[in-house]
Structure 1
Amino acid sequence: MSDETPHENRPDRWIDLEGVVNMRDSGGLPTRDGGTIQPRRLLRSDNLQDLSEADVRQVVDALGVSDIVDLRSDTEVSTEGPGPLWQVESLTHHHHSLFGDNRGVTAEQALAMPEHSTRPIRDAGFWSDHYLGYLAARPDSISAALDVVSRSSGATVIHCAAGKDRTGTVVALALDAAGVPHDVIVEDYALTGERIERIIARLMPRDLYGNALRHQSVDDQRPRPETMRTILDTVASEFGGAQGWLREQGWTDADIERLRQRLTT
C-alpha cells in the first residue's frame, strides 16, 4: 500500500512571532490510521533568543508550552546566553545537544558546513549522511528529547539554531513513531524552505554564525525533500521505523505508546 497521503486541505501551521521565523505546530498532520497529530503538543522552531515580551506571553499562555528541548551544542548555548523563556518559572528547559558533552563546536559544525572548504557540494546525500550521524553519535540525546515530548503536560518546543537540521531529525522521528506517513513528514521538513532566506538573515548578525554563513549560498542551506526521504527509508530498513529505533535505545512498548498517545489523542 502506498505511503502517500493527499496534500490538499493541509492546515497552515506557521506560528508567527516577532522573535522567530521558523516556528510551526505539528498539529493537524494525518496519521496512517486516520487520526491526526493534536495541536499544541509538538512545536518546532529556530532559536528562541529574541522573543519579545508579547512572544513570551503567546508561547506560555496561548500555545500552552510547558517544555523546551534545546538541541544546540554547549558552545552555542554558552555563547548565546539564556533567552527570555529562562525567566518563566512554569517552563522546564531540557538541553540535549546532538554534539558531544563539553565539546567545543564551531559554527560550521553546528550549521552542518564542512570545514576546510568555502564551496562544499552539499547535495541530498551530504545532508542525509549528516543527519544519520546524529542518530549514530547522540542517540541518547534524541531518545531523551522524545521522552520529554511523551511526558510533557503541555506543548513541547524542540529547537536548535535554524530549526532545520537537528530539529528536523528529531521531529521526524517523533512523527514517524506516531504513525505519520513518510510523505507528510518529508513535506513538513521541506516546509522550512519557504523561510530559509529569513532564517539565514536572522542568524547572519550573530557572532557565532555570521562569518560561516557569509561563505554559503542560500541554496546550500535549503532543505531537500529527498534528504528526509533517505533518513526515513534508512531508519525503516535498519530498525523497522522510528518505533524500532526507540526499542534499540531501551524503550518499551509502553514507552512508545505513551509517545504516540501524547501526540495523537
Structure 2
Amino acid sequence: MTEQIVNRYAAYPTERVLPFSGVQNFRDMGGYETADGRKVKYGILFRAAELTGLTEEDAAFLESLGIRTIFDYRGDDEAELKPDPAIKGAVYERIPAIPELQYRSHRDMESMLEQFDAGALDHMYGALPINNPSYKRLMQLLADPERLGLVHHCAAGKDRTGVGAALILSVLGVPRETIMEDYLMTNETLKGLHETVMSELAPKLTPEKLELVMRMMDAREEFLESAFRAIDEKYGSMEAYFEQEFGLTQQKIAAIRDYCLE
C-alpha cells in the first residue's frame, strides 16, 4: 500500500466513517453490539453512497479492505449515468430495489418532485422490505462468507441502503434502537451535501417544494419505522419475516451470526 493508503487505514476501524475523497457516506457496519452481547465484526460489511466518484487512491484503499462484493440497489438510469468503477477482487451485482423509480442523481430534484409527495417516502419504506428481489439477493450474499466483505449502496446511501442495512443488522441481532442510530447517522455524513443542494435549489423552488426536498433528503425515524411496521404487520415478528421472505431458518441465522459476530 502507498503511504497515503496506510495513513488512511491507520484510523480504521476506530472511525466508522471511512475517509474516501470521492465517495460519501461510506461506513463500516462493524462494532455494533447485539442482544446477546457479541459485536458485529469490522471489515466485512460496509454501506455507502454511489461509488462513481472513487479517485485512484480511493480505489486502491477500497481494494486494501478486501472487498469481494459490491451490491448496487440503483435503477438502470442511475447506474448508466454514474457507473461503479471496477474494483480488483470484487464481484459487482446490481438488482434495483425500486425498479420503477426514474432517478438520475440526488441533484435531479425536478424529476423527483414529480414522483414524490409528502407521504411518498413513508409508503416507499413500507413497501421496500416486502417481496423485494434486491433484498432477497442481499440476504443470500450475507449468508455466504465467501462473498464478504460486502459493500451495499444506492445513490446517497440513505433510503434503499438504509433499509438494507437495517435488515442486515436485524439478522445479526442488533437492537432496533441501535439500528435506528446507524440509519440516522446519514444526516451527519451527508450534511455538507444537503446544505449545498439546498442552497442551489433555494432560488428556484417555492418554500413548499423546498420543504418537500428537505423531507426527501433527510433520514427520519418515521421512515425506517414504516419499514419495520410493515414487517411486523405482515409477519408478526422478524423471525417469521426472515424465514418466510428469505428462507433464513434459525439454524441459518445462527450460522450467519457465528461468522459475522465476535
Give your verdict on TM over 0.5: yes
Query: Residues 49 and 155 of structure 2 are in contact (CA less than 8 Å); yes or no, is this contact kept in structure 1?
Result: yes
The answer to whether the aligner puts 1:223 opposite 2:241 as a matched pair is no
The answer to whether the aligner puts 1:258 opposite 2:255 as a matched pair is yes
Cα deviation, residue 97, structure 1: 0.8
The answer to whether the aligner puts 1:105 opposite 2:69 as a matched pair is no
Please give the residue correspondences for 1:59-138 in structure 2 after superposition, counting only pairs within 5 Å: 59-61=62-64, 63-81=65-83, 83-84=84-85, 86=86, 88-100=87-99, 105-107=102-104, 113-115=112-114, 120-121=117-118, 126-136=120-130
In structure 1, distance between residues paired with 2:196 and 2:53: 10
Cα deviation, residue 234, structure 1: 3.6
Query: Residues 177 and 241 of structure 1 are in contact (CA less than 8 Å); yes or no, is this contact kept in structure 2?
Result: no
Query: Residues 31 and 179 of structure 1 are in contact (CA less than 8 Å); yes or no, is this contact kept in structure 2?
Result: yes
CA deviation map 1:9-40 (0-9, x unaligned): xx641111001120111100010000111101
1:168 is matched with which residue: 155, 162, 168? 162
Aligned length: 235
Query: Residues 65 and 91 of structure 1 are in contact (CA less than 8 Å); yes or no, is this contact kept in structure 2?
Result: yes
CA deviation map 1:107-163 (0-9, x unaligned): 49998945267xx435xxx43321122223x52211101211221433100100000
In structure 1, distance between residues paired with 2:196 and 2:78: 15
In structure 1, distance between residues paired with 2:195 and 2:82: 17
CA deviation map 1:220-248 (0-9, x unaligned): 21111232234224423432444422211
Alignment-derived partner of residue 187 in structure 2: 193
Cα gap change, 1:155 to 1:203, in 2 (>3 Å): farther
* One-letter identity of the residue aligned with 2:243: R
Alignment-derived partner of residue 46 in structure 1: 49
RMSD (Å) for aligned C-alpha atoms: 3.0
In structure 1, distance between residues paired with 2:153 and 2:137: 14
Cα gap change, 1:240 to 1:40, in 2 (>3 Å): farther
Alignment-derived partner of residue 39 in structure 2: 36
Cα deviation, residue 201, structure 1: 6.9
Cα gap change, 1:104 to 1:37, in 2 (>3 Å): closer
Q: Secondary structure at the match of 1:162?
A: coil
In structure 2, distance between residues paired with 1:41 and 1:235: 26
Alignment-derived partner of residue 7 in structure 1: none
The answer to whether the aligner puts 1:142 opposite 2:139 as a matched pair is no
In structure 1, distance between residues paired with 2:26 and 2:238: 23
Query: Residues 66 and 91 of structure 1 are in contact (CA less than 8 Å); yes or no, is this contact kept in structure 2?
Result: yes
In structure 2, distance between residues paired with 1:72 and 1:79: 11
Q: Secondary structure at the match of 1:146?
A: helix
Cα gap change, 1:116 to 1:252, in 2 (>3 Å): closer
41-50 or 227-236, which moves further after superposition?
227-236
Alignment-derived partner of residue 13 in structure 1: 16
Alignment-derived partner of residue 58 in structure 1: 61
* Unpaired segments ≥5 residues, structure 2: 1-13, 199-203
Q: Secondary structure at the match of 2:70?
A: strand
Give the structure-2-normalised TM-score: 0.78
* One-letter identity of the residue aligned with 1:135: P
